[in-house]
Amino acid sequence: MTRTDEDAEKQQLWRSLSEAGLVDITLDDFPERVKEAKHAVMGRLSELLEMSNQLQERRSVAHSLGTLRKLEATLRDAAVSQGESGSETPGR
Amino acid sequence: MMRTVKQQTAGALWPPEGGDIVTFQSFGGFSSGVLKEVRWGLVWRDFVLDDGRVIPEHKIVGCPEPPAWRSPDAVSQEEREEAEGRLASMAEDGLDPRSREQPFWAELNQYLAYTYLRFKNRTAQANVQP
């Protein structure tokens, strides 16, 4: 791959991440981004469940799904506790 | 002597070194800090400051365009599981992932970008296969 190809690939990646709103996630967008990631992981997991020879990837994808569910719950709890206290999160 | 980001970019030295002062886009404006270390995350490099803040490389003033990145295929299973373990542990410790420029926030950003790229690539590959 030439330097120009690498630069073009990098540009494409950043454009792609930026369009997906993932280069700089705003605080309000976190729950939605986690939800989207979860859907993508679940889509892949359902594909893998139809195959019998992808056990390691299935395990790995299921683990990622578990992590996203935990993060989703954490974000929900943080939003609830912030709503109850009515205070701003430091550093925001 | 501490170098500033202007001196670094003028000399084409990137990334800056530990002890250098870096300026970055922060919430509501620009901020500065002393760089402790630069480390790779799952997708991009993070600049860890000596006060504990973690700033993605693309937010640092003087960062080359486009910034350095890693393909999701370059992330090993072990590395992914370590990142997932750190996220789970920070969640269990009750840290707020929405505290900007803190380690949990930085890890979560990288993990979501990585997950997007990981499965977007899969979908693209599946679509070109007959």
pLDDT digits (tens, 9 = 90+) for B71-82: 899 999 999 999
Domain count, chain A: 1
What is d(CA B99, CA B97) in angstroms, rounded to the nearest whole number? 6
Are A92 and B115 inside 8 Å of each other by CB?
A: no
In a domain, A88, yes or no: no
Q: CB of B99 within 8 Å of any CB in chain A? A: yes
Residue A87 falls within a domain, yes or no? no
Residues B118-130 have pLDDT tens digits of: 987 665 555 555 4
Rounded CA-CA distance B120/B91 in Å is 26
Structure tokens, A2 = 């030439």
> What is the structure's pLDDT at B16?
95
DSSP annotation of B24 reads E
The total number of structural domains in chain B stands at: 1
pLDDT digits (tens, 9 = 90+) for B99-115: 889 999 999 999 999 99
Residue A92 is assigned to a structural domain of this protein: no
Give A63 to chain B, closest Cα distance, Å.
8
Using CA atoms, how far residue B88 sits from A70, B22, B85, B117, in Å, is 7, 30, 5, 21
Closest CA to A92 of A37, A71, A82: A82
Provide the domain limits for residue A33. 24-76
Q: Is residue A31 part of a domain?
A: yes
Query: Highest mean pLDDT range out of A83-92, B46-55, B61-70?
Result: B46-55
The verdict on ipTM greater than 0.85 is: no
Residue A3 lies in a domain: no
Residues 6+ apart with CB under 8 A from B48: B35, B36, B37, B38, B39, B54
Q: Do B119 and A10 touch (CB under 8 A)?
A: no
- Residue A16 maps to a domain: no
Q: Is A40 inside a domain boundary?
A: yes
Q: Residues in chain A with pLDDT < 50?
A: 87-88, 90-92
DSSP A12-77: HHHHHHHHTT-SS--GGGHHHHHHHHHHHHHHHHHHHHT-SS-HHHHHHHHHHHHHHHHHHHHHHH
Note down the domain range covering B66. 5-128
One-letter amino acid of B80: R
Q: What is the pLDDT of residue B22?
A: 97
Residue A4 covered by a domain? no
Instruction: Indicate yes or no: CB of B119 within 8 angstroms of CB of A68.
Output: no
Task: Please give the Cα distance from B118 to B43 (Å, whole number).
Answer: 10
Pairing assessment for the beta strands B29-40 and B21-26 based on DSSP bridges:
antiparallel
